[in-house]
Structure formats: C-alpha cells, structure tokens
Amino acid sequence: MTSISAPPASTPSATGSSWAGRTWALLITLCIVLFLDGLDVSMIGVALPSIGNELHLSTSSLQWLVSGYVLGYGGLLLLGGRTADLLGRRKVFLVALAVFAVASLTGGLVTSGPLLILTRFVKGLSAAFTAPTGLSIITTNFAEGPARNKALSIYTVFGAGGYSFGLVFGGLMTGVGWRWTFLLPVPIALAALAAALVVVPRDKPAEEGGHDLLGAVTSTAAMLLLVYTVVTAHQVGWGSARTIGSFVGVAALAAAFVVAETRVAHPLIRLGILRKGTLVRASLAIVAMAGSYFSWQFIVTLYLQDTLRWSPLQLALALLPVGLMVTASSIFSNRLVDRFGTGRIIAVTMSVMAVGYLLFLRIDTTPSYATAILPAVLLIGVGWIGFPAVNIQATSGIEDDEQGLAAGVLQTSMQVGAAIVLAVTTAIIASGQVGADATPTAMLDAYRPGLVFAAVVSIVGALVAVLALVPRRGREVEEVEDELEPAELAA
C-alpha cells in the first residue's frame, strides 16, 4: 500500500506514523459513508414490490421512492460541495451524515407512502452533501500524487462495492421485512458518525463567497415539477390544462435558474462550462447509461417479483452480475482508458449495453435464467465498465479550478437524467397497466413498452458516443486545445 506523505503545514500536530494512521482511519470512515450511499440505492430497488404491496402504492408512486432520492441528490449536489467550502467540511459532513441516519430510521418506522417518499428525498439530500464533502476532505488531506490517487481509487471501489453488496443485502433484508432495508444502514451510519467526530480534522470556512440559494431552489423545483408532471400526465391527460400549465411552470423555473446563474456572484454552475464538448458528451452518455438502467431494473424488479413470484433474494442474485461489473470497472478501467482512450471505451461499452437491453426483450412468462436473463444481464453489466471513462472524459481539458464543477455537472446530469427517464418509463407502463389479477402474459404486455423505451434510450446514447468518434474539424481543434498549455495557446 502506498504510504502517506507528510501532512500539510496547516496541520501542526500531525507527525509521522501517527498522521498516517489517523489519515487512513479517516479514509476508511469516508469510504464507509460512500458505501452506504451505494448500498441504499440498490437495496431499495429490490424492496420495491414488498413496499408497494404493504403500503398499497401504485407503480407511479413506487417510482418516487427511486426518483425522490436521485432528485434530492442531483438537485442539491452542486450546492452541497459549495456549502462545505463556505461553512467548513467537517461541520457539513457530520450534520449531513446525522440527517441520513435519522431519515433511515424514520423510513423504517413510517406507515405512510408519502412520508416514506419524503424520507427518501431527505436521504438523497444528505448524500448531496456527504458525497462532495467526503471527496474534498480526501483531496485536502492526501498529498497530490500517488497517495491521493491510491485514496481516490479505494474510495471509488467502496462506492461501487456498496451498490453490489446492496443487491444481496436488499434481498436478504426484504426476505425478513422491507423495513430492514431502511433500518440496516442506521447503526452503520451512527458508527461512521462516531468515528468521523474523532478522525475528520477541523477546518476553517472560506473567507469569501456565498450561497446561490436561488439557483438551488429554482433548479430543484423545476426538476421535481417536471418529474411530477410526466408521472401524472397519463391520469389527467397530456393535453389537459393542468399538464400544460405544469410544463409552463417547469419552463419558467428553468428560465429563472438561467437568469440567476448569470447574475449572482457565485453561481452553482458557470454556464460557459457547458460549451465544453467533452463535458456535454459525457453528460449525455451518463444520462443514457443511468436512465436506461434504472428504468430497466425498475420494471424487471416488479415483473419478476410481483408477476413471476421470484423471491427478493432470487432477484438480487439474478442482478448481482451487474453490481460486480460496476465494482470491477472501478478497478481496471483506467488501464483500458490509457490504452484505448475514453471515446472508444464509451462507444463500445454503451453499444454492448444496448444489445443487452434488446436481448432482454425476448423474455417471456417462463424465462430460463441461464439462456434468457443472464446473457442480457452480463451485456448490460459490460456497459458499466465504461462508467469511469465517462468520468474521465467529463473533466478532460477542464481548468484545475473548475474540475469540481465539471464533476458536479456530470453527477447532476446522471441523477436528474435518470429520474426523468424513469418518470417517462413509469408513465408509459402506467398508461397500459392492467389489474392486479391480470395474467402474467397481460402484465408482460403492459411492461414491454417500458422495456422498449429503456432500450431506445440506451441505443440513442450509444449512437451519440459512436458518432462522437467521427472526425470533425471543429471538435479536433477543441480537443487539441484541451491538451495545450495556456502559454502555447497564446503563442
């Protein structure tokens, strides 16, 4: 294991081996918190049918248990990182982790669907503060170079591992009772909180800067209203005054956000960064990747458990190869990128993922796991091998002082894009939904358009990635400039 270099001068009490031990304890604590985020996302997916049956939630309501989390996360992610700089990383991290623990406990005790959805939104909100704050704590406590690279690599593996283990834990906990998928993270979060009180160093808030609260409020409100409008449109009619009025409200909120970002001194997003081709292409890729997968998993979970009566553990083990691929991608994908470049990796993996979704369309009411499900699952899992390449592409050619902003834009695109795609998928399957006593064939017919839509989203993402490889003079100039130093450009 790479040794930790000497602490920065701002840490006067840190010396030698004591600093190394404390810093690795800090890393382990931060990794556990990120592990919880991944664990939480995948556990709830497995538990959806059981939650719906006990609380009598419709398919449209169930999707909010997923969308509520990702919207809370994506909507406030940029504000979370900025808040840590302004108020102090230690303070923000501890408060957000405590909120996560309380929301998890509350979610395991409530008996109301809307309250359960609210706890999911609050958990996503807390993750929007712990994730960027944890990353900034690492970058400020590990010296740039091998030590920091090693720490970030371990941090990434824990996040991916949380998702993988969450599938298994979700199956096991749901078998006992779905409430345990909410209660299991509570003692882990409390233990991490106790450790964080000891190992997270105190820091001073930034002396200058401010919060872009207007930007945060308008952007989050626009995203929530958009998802709500799409999900409920099939009930009131796409051409109804309510639906049209809601879309107008979304446009107004989006316009207010753009105006706010151009006028405030410290915007959430410097809009000029969106002119970077690498960032835009990476953002489109991550929307297609996450949006298609969340939608596909949502439908597969309901179909296999509710219709075909698979147990939660059977479902979890069936989807586990995807989680293992996610974990593997964080370990060896950097070597693939070094050899082939981000563009080729993204194009190939997303194309393979699209084939996996198309292959899954062969599913029937008596599917063989070995021949009908596993091949598709493996191909879809291959798609996630390109996930680290997307992250690398997003920050390629970005100035050092905007690397965090670019990463935040990418993560926001992933969370919000996935929520919107899932909302559209839910609207599609809800419009053709049949009664609870319908035959498996009728249920599959109702779900199939949603599966087709998820495949189409993935195909569009793959096409964008492939077309990005076609040489064009404008893009060639941009990418060459990305690799040049400012002095070379001036010359």
| Cβ neighbours, 10 Å, residue 226 | 22
- Which has the minimum average pLDDT: 140-144, 188-192, 478-482? 478-482
Cα–Cα distance between 80 and 388 in angstroms, integer? 22
Split at pLDDT 50, 70, 90, the class of 18 is low
How much is the pLDDT for 191?
95
CB 89 within 8 A of CB 140: yes
- Which has the minimum average pLDDT: 260-274, 351-365, 451-465, 466-480? 466-480
Phi, psi of 5 (to 5 degrees): -75, 175
Task: Answer with the residue of higher pLDDT: 209 or 216.
Answer: 216
Cα–Cα distance between 17 and 14 in angstroms, integer? 9
Split at pLDDT 50, 70, 90, the class of 489 is very low
Q: If you average pLDDT over residues 82-96, what whole number do you get?
A: 85
CB 337 within 8 A of CB 385: no
For residue 438, CA distances in Å to 248, 296, 428, 435, 443 come to: 37, 21, 18, 5, 6
- Give the single-character DSSP code of 119: H
CB 203 within 8 A of CB 89: yes
| pLDDT at residue 298 is higher than 60 | yes
How much is the pLDDT for 434?
67
- What tokens appear for 72 in the block? 């809370």
Split at pLDDT 50, 70, 90, the class of 81 is confident
pLDDT in tens, 376-403: 999 999 988 888 888 788 877 777 666 6
| Cβ neighbours, 10 Å, residue 257 | 25
pLDDT in tens, 97-155: 999 999 999 999 999 999 999 999 999 899 988 988 888 888 778 776 677 767 777 88
Measured in whole angstroms, the distance separating CA 344 from the mean position of its chain's CA atoms is 23
Q: What is the chain's mean pLDDT, rounded?
A: 82
How much is the pLDDT for 131?
85
How much is the pLDDT for 417?
86
Cα–Cα distance between 304 and 309 in angstroms, integer? 6
Helix (H) or strand (E) holding 205: none
For residue 130, CA distances in Å to 2, 15, 35, 151 come to: 25, 27, 12, 17
- Residue 472 identity (one-letter amino acid): R
Task: Answer with the residue of higher pLDDT: 245 or 214.
Answer: 245
Task: Answer with the residue of higher pLDDT: 385 or 2.
Answer: 385
How much is the pLDDT for 7?
36
| Cβ neighbours, 10 Å, residue 339 | 9
For residue 402, CA distances in Å to 232, 338, 393, 396 come to: 38, 23, 14, 11
Percentage of residues in the chain with pLDDT exceeding 90?
Answer: 34
pLDDT in tens, 134-148: 888 887 787 766 777
Cα–Cα distance between 89 and 26 in angstroms, integer? 13
Nearest to 82 by CA among 245, 216, 272, 199: 216
- What tokens appear for 27 in the block? 């890393």
Q: What is the pTM of this model?
A: 0.81
Four-point Cα dihedral 285, 289, 295, 298, nearest 10: -150
Give the list of residues 6+ apart from residue 420 with CB closer than 8 angstroms, or none: 223, 226, 227, 230, 291
How much is the pLDDT for 69?
87
What are the DSSP calls for 61-108, one per residue?
HHHHHHHHHHHHHHHHHHHHHHHHHHH-HHHHHHHHHHHHHHHHHHHH
Cα–Cα distance between 329 and 260 in angstroms, integer? 38
